[in-house]
């Protein structure tokens, strides 16, 4: 089975004062075991970690540069 990778950059949305939460939830909808969601944000999106964990994702975060965080969420097995 192929691993699906979805990448989303919400830095521009946040710069324009747009709330990206629904866009993020839409992006992860339908991801299955071992699929990956990569999020680019201007800050470390700590509140999102608990939401994604509840949806069955683990995460790794990396600060690329000031105002650019890359967070990689991976869907864990056994959860939909």
Question: pLDDT per residue over 2-17, tens digit each?
Answer: 899 999 999 999 999 9
CB-based contacts of 18: which residues, under 8 Å, 6+ apart? none
The pLDDT score that the predictor gives to residue 51 is 97
Return the number of other C-beta atoms located less than 10 Å from residue 28's C-beta: 19
Please tell me the CATH code under which domain 5-75 is placed.
3.30.110
The pLDDT score that the predictor gives to residue 79 is 44
Return the number of other C-beta atoms located less than 10 Å from residue 31's C-beta: 20
Phi-psi region of 77 (alpha: psi -120 to 50; beta: other; left: phi over 0): beta
- Give the pLDDT band of residue 80 (cuts 50, 70, 90): very low
Distance CA 36, CA 76 (A): 10
Question: pLDDT per residue over 60-79, tens digit each?
Answer: 999 999 999 999 999 997 64
């Amino acid at each position: 089975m192929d691993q699906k990778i979805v990448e989303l950059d919400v830095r521009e949305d946040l710069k324009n004062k747009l709330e990206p939460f629904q866009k993020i939830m839409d992006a992860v909808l339908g991801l299955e075991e071992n699929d990956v969601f990569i999020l680019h944000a201007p800050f470390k999106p700590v509140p999102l970690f608990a939401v994604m964990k509840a949806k069955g994702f683990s995460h790794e975060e990396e600060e690329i540069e000031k105002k650019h965080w890359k967070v990689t969420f991976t869907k864990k097995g056994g959860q939909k």
